[in-house]
Amino acid sequence: MKIQMDNKGKCYGCAACANICPQNAIRMQRDEEGFVYPVIDEALCVECGGCASVCPIEQEVPEAGEDVRYYGFQTTDTQLLRESASGGAFSVLAGMFWKAGGNLICGAAMDEDKTVRHICCRSEEELYRLRNSKYVESEAWDGIGEVLRQLRQGSKVLFSGTPCQVDGLRQTVEQMSGNLRDNLLLVDIVCNGVGSPAVWSKYINALEKKEQQKVQSFRFRDKRAEYGRAVSWVLEDGAERAELLANNCYSFWYQRGFITRPSCYQCKYASLNRPGDITLGDFHGLQDEEFALKRGVSLVIGNTAKGREFCRQLQKEGLLKEYSGEQVLQPRLQGPIKKTPLRAIFMKDCRTLCWEDFMKKYGAIGGSKLR
């Protein structure tokens, strides 16, 4: 039985189906909101059922066992801490992976055209592109395809992504011949959902129109404000701009569920049951004064024996403290983001109205008056 695409709420866009298909009968295509969905070429499909066998929607999430370990982490590298969205755990883990003989690290990066896509890094010098949060759905299928090719060649790979992307890759690798899973370290993130690439594109175009020049780079979390509660961007002429998260319309729409992928509202990964070897996120609500809380602390969860071994080594690179599962609970580990009743009309207006008219209607939602 092949996957059925009659309900967008039942597709994460992870592209596992496209990557497993032996006939290359599945391609990923964007809808009007910018989210990707599989399209099956019926002339090529042989009904092998490979796509359904790796689809995260169809599979159970691994249950958290008694051996799972929960940590707070903050790097002692002050520059790295400043450049990271939280406590720097991802960059430190990536560096440890290189030193352990890793060959490739794949994660989400923002291109010059402001498109978020998964890229593959082959040196530590490239890792800066994978730092910081990206509140937009990533084009992951090409990156995942390269990960699979490298695993077949015997490379050791670290893959970082949303839980559904990680689970899709995990299911795919476990369906393939050989012990490829042994060479793959999976890192999933505590995810608030993925934002609409179409809304993001419209926002960036309006921002560049206002600035009268191209935006060179954009950071969704800037630590010039405490706890990283600011966004910032660098313009073509080198000028820097910053805005509080509370005043940035795109960030507000993302955080409040206006622009989230339909399947994210019923995400089954919004719990302590995780698909990765390691889970990373912000340690929201931590009150431990041993950490410099305003500078950001990473939540680190060791889900598997392989993941826990890497987690324990973090103590060599910063402050690492263990907590209970109850102590690390936060909204996206207790349930998915809520869908706002305004979503349908909001997304329709974003598609059909010019930016000026759109902001006249929705600019007050989020505070920013980007016109």
Token pair for residue 239? 């000028």
What's the pLDDT at 363? 80
Of residues 58 and 304, the one with the higher pLDDT is: 304
Is the pLDDT reported for residue 366 higher than 60? no
Residue intervals of the chain classified under CATH 3.30.70.20 are 8-58
Helix intervals (H) in 84-133: 89-99
Cα-Cα-Cα-Cα dihedral sign, residues 349, 354, 357, 363: positive
Fold of the domain spanning 8-58: Alpha-Beta Plaits (3.30.70)
166-170, 174-178, 195-199, 347-351: which range is least confident on average? 174-178
For the segment 293-312, the average pLDDT, to the nearest whole number, is 97
CB 370 within 8 A of CB 249: yes
Is the pLDDT reported for residue 21 higher than 60? yes
What's the pLDDT at 369? 45
Radius of gyration (Cα) for the chain, nearest Å?
Answer: 20
Question: Could you say which DSSP state residue 133 is in?
Answer: -
Quick: pLDDT tens for 313-327. Answer: 999 999 999 999 999
Secondary-structure percent of the chain, ordered helix, strand, coil, rounded to 5: 40, 20, 40
